[in-house]
Amino acid sequence: MQKPFPPVYYSDYLKLDQLLSAQWPKSDEYNMHAHDEMLFIIVHQAYELWFKQILHELHSVAECFEKKSVDEKNIGVAVARLQRVTEIQKLLIDQLRILETMTPLDFLDFRDILMPASGFQSVQFRLIENLLGLKPAQRKMYNQFAYHTRLSKEHQELIRKSEEAVSLFDLVEKWLERTPFLEFKHFNFWNSYKAAVDKMLDNDRKVIQTHSGLSDNEKNEQIKQLEKTRENFEAVFDASKHEQLVKEGFRRLSHRATQAALLICLYRDQPILHLPFKFLTALIDIDELFTTWRYRHTLMVHRMIGTKIGTGGSSGHDYLRITTEQHKVFTDLFNLSTFLIPRSALPKLPDDIEKNLGFYYGQK
Domain of 56, CATH number, reads 1.20.58.480
* Cα angle: 336, vertex 342, 344; to 5 degrees: 145
Residue-level pLDDT at 324: 77
Domain that holds residue 192: 24-360
pTM of the entire predicted model: 0.89
- For residue 269, being part of any structural domain is answered with yes
pLDDT in tens, the chain (364 residues): 577 889 999 999 999 999 999 999 999 999 999 999 999 999 999 999 999 999 999 999 999 999 888 887 899 999 999 999 999 999 999 999 999 999 999 999 999 999 888 887 899 999 999 999 999 888 776 656 677 778 889 999 999 999 999 999 999 999 999 887 666 667 788 888 999 999 999 999 999 999 989 999 999 999 999 999 999 899 999 999 999 999 999 999 999 999 999 999 999 998 888 999 999 999 999 999 999 999 998 888 888 878 665 554 444 566 677 777 788 999 999 999 999 999 888 888 888 777 777 765 444 4
- For residue 64, being part of any structural domain is answered with yes
Residue-level pLDDT at 313: 46
- 297 CB-near residues (< 8 Å, 6+ apart): 96, 320
Residue-level pLDDT at 119: 81
Q: By the 8 A CB rule, do 169 and 329 touch? A: yes
- For residue 14, being part of any structural domain is answered with no
Residue-level pLDDT at 36: 96
Residue-level pLDDT at 39: 97
Residue-level pLDDT at 181: 65
- For residue 8, being part of any structural domain is answered with no
- For residue 3, being part of any structural domain is answered with no
Total number of domains in the chain: 1
- For residue 6, being part of any structural domain is answered with no
CA distances for 276 relative to 7, 122, 178, 254, 343, angstroms: 43, 32, 13, 18, 18
- For residue 5, being part of any structural domain is answered with no
Q: Residue 42's closest CA among 24, 30, 29?
A: 24
